């Protein structure tokens, strides 16, 4: 599903990524861990096509994203990549349902279809009854689940999450992790998740450690 090969990235004269290779199969949950400043978010942004590497190649679902022009790239990103960040960036003036629909509207999906899918996802995430509320009227955990629904609305090839449970309490964090497992079980959804959360790291199929700009070691979980 994802092949990132030979990824290099520097900021000014400071090398951050020095030849990272990360291949992720469909339906796999990979967690990315490493010290603060190790380059985890940088790598996630490159994989997510939000930033370009200085060298190296990113292929998602068979498409070499480096070959896409800006407009094609934003379309590709909208359809194939779902983002979940620690600070979920829901739009405050829109309801939960509208927030979830936005990527589908960008894809020019009909309102009816988009709302149907969004409602289905809110239901799956246990926040359907909050669909007409604005983010400011939702708890942190509810907002996070709405953000996950938004990430899923276009059935992305891959979900990229940066500290998704970083501002959740342990109960909501556990629920979010279970949700990722359920999505993998039900939809064979693929994930790359940056996390400091040990519980989340241990439910992953693979834990990839980043250190000194390289992948240091990989722990593979049985089953």
Q: Closest approach of Cβ 38 to ligand ATP, in Å?
A: 4
- CA atoms of 206 and 29, how far apart (whole Å): 7
Q: Closest approach of Cβ 146 to ligand ATP, in Å?
A: 23
CB-nearer residue toward Mg ion: 45 or 145: 45
Q: Is 69 a binder of ligand ATP (CB under 6 A)?
A: no
DSSP category for residue 199? H
Interaction partner, residue 136 (ligand ATP, Mg ion, none; CB < 5-8 Å by kind): none
Q: Is 87 a binder of ligand ATP (CB under 6 A)?
A: no
Q: Is 141 a binder of ligand ATP (CB under 6 A)?
A: no
- 83's CB contacts (< 8 A; 6+ apart) are 48, 151, 159, 160, 161, 162
Q: Closest approach of Cβ 9 to ligand ATP, in Å?
A: 8
Q: Closest approach of Cβ 45 to ligand ATP, in Å?
A: 8
Q: Closest approach of Cβ 36 to ligand ATP, in Å?
A: 3
Contact 152, 159 (CB under 8 A): yes
Return the residue nearest Mg ion (CB atom): 41
Binds ligand ATP by CB under 6 A, chosen from 24, 28, 29, 42:
42
CB-nearer residue toward ligand ATP: 52 or 116: 52
> For residues 12-41, which are near ligand ATP according to CB under 6 A?
16, 34, 36-41
CB-nearer residue toward ligand ATP: 29 or 38: 38
Count CA atoms closer than 13 A to 205's CA, side-chain side: 17
CB-nearer residue toward ligand ATP: 12 or 92: 12
Q: What is the total count of residues that contact ligand ATP (CB under 6 A)?
A: 10
DSSP category for residue 41? H
Q: Is 53 a binder of ligand ATP (CB under 6 A)?
A: no
Distances (CA, A) of 191 to 67, 92, 105, 138, 212: 23, 27, 24, 25, 23
| DSSP characters over 106-135 | HTT--HHHHHHHHHHHHHHTT-GGGTTS-G
Count of residues for the chain? 223
* Residue closest to 41 by CA, chosen among 168, 194, 209: 194
Q: Closest approach of Cβ 134 to Mg ion, in Å?
A: 28
Looking up tokens 């990235």, which residue turns up? Answer: 9
- Name the residues that contact ligand ATP, by CB under 6 A: 11, 16, 34, 36-42
């Amino acid at each position: 599903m994802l092949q990132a090969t030979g990824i290099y990235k520097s900021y000014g004269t400071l090398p951050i990524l020095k030849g990272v290779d990360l291949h992720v199969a469909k339906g796999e949950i990979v967690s990315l861990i490493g010290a603060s400043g190790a380059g985890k978010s940088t790598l996630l942004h490159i994989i997510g096509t939000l930033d370009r590497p200085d060298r190296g190649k990113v292929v998602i679902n068979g498409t070499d994203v480096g070959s896409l022009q800006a407009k094609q790239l934003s379309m590709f990103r909208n359809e194939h990549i779902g983002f979940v960040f620690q600070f979920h960036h829901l739009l405050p003036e829109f309801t939960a349902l509208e927030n979830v629909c936005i990527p589908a509207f960008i894809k020019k999906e009909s309102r009816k279809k988009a709302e149907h899918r969004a409602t289905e996802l809110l239901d799956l995430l246990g926040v359907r009854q909050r669909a007409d509320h604005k983010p400011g009227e939702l708890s942190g955990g509810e907002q996070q689940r709405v953000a996950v629904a938004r990430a899923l609305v276009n059935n992305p090839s891959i979900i990229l999450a940066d500290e998704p449970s970083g501002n959740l309490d342990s109960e909501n964090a556990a629920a979010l992790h279970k949700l990722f497992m359920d999505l993998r079980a039900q939809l064979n959804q693929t994930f790359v998740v940056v996390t400091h959360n040990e519980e989340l790291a241990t439910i992953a199929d693979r834990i990839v450690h980043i250190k000194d700009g390289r992948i240091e070691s990989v722990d593979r979980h049985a089953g």
